[in-house]
Amino acid sequence: MSRIIVGTVAGLVVLSQAVTFTQAPKPVLATDITAAQVQAVLAAPSAIADRLITAVDMGSYNVGVGVLRRTPTKPGAPVGAIMHEHITEVYYIISGTGTLFTGGEVINAKAAAPDSDIVKVVVGPSLQGTFKTPAQKRKVGPGDVVIIPPGVYHGFDDVTTGIDYLAVRPDPNHVLPAGYVHPAIRK
């Protein structure tokens, strides 16, 4: 019996080492994103408001950093809603103001196309629809920080001159493309 236990423990140790060796190594250097790089990505032509600046492989998870520019909204128009299945987003408002809607009831929700940049590069699988009734509404402006968990719909209203914000995206499921660098700042 003791040989079986010792053999089992030895086998588990060997297997745990194999798992450890297959994981990506943790980075040993910091990743810098300069203000000039943020501005270069914001200024780059894009079909979508959301632009991933970079995604870094941290070993057991990825971290993405994106920058978004929302154009003015039309008073009385329906407020678009998006929800990311796997990604938490931490927003830091750089400039502009708006009303951020989160949670609540969304209508006409449809999956973002699997081959779209929003899914393949920016935030992974997502649903998009229109807010019927948000659970929260709050005015946001420069310096404000908001944390949006996975599965929570969000969208902006009352944007008069545009709003720019940075999004930090912890990615425990490795849906972001590790090693990605936006073409506007690739060397």
pLDDT value of position 55? 96
Q: What is residue 13's predicted lDDT score, i.e. its pLDDT?
A: 40
Lookup: tokens for 40: 């270069």
Q: What is the mean pLDDT of the chain?
A: 89
149: amino acid identity, one letter: P
Q: Predicted confidence band at 110 (pLDDT cuts at 50, 70, 90)? A: very high
For the chain, domain boundaries: 30-171
**21-25, 51-55, 136-140, 143-147: range with lowest mean pLDDT:** 21-25
Six-digit token string for 163: 């709003």
Q: Which residues contact 111 (CB under 8 A, 6 or more apart)?
A: 125, 126, 127, 128
Give the alpha-carbon dihedral of 119, 124, 130, 136, to 10 degrees: -150
30-171: which CATH number, 2.60.40.10, 3.40.1030.10, 2.60.120.10, 1.10.3720.10? 2.60.120.10
The token pair that represents 7 in the structure block = 């053999």
Identify the band that residue 24 occupies on the pLDDT scale cut at 50, 70 and 90: low
Q: Which residue has the higher pLDDT, 78 or 20?
A: 78
pLDDT tens per residue, range 88-107? 999 999 999 999 999 999 99
Could you write out the DSSP letters of every residue in 151-166? T--EEEE--SS-EEEE
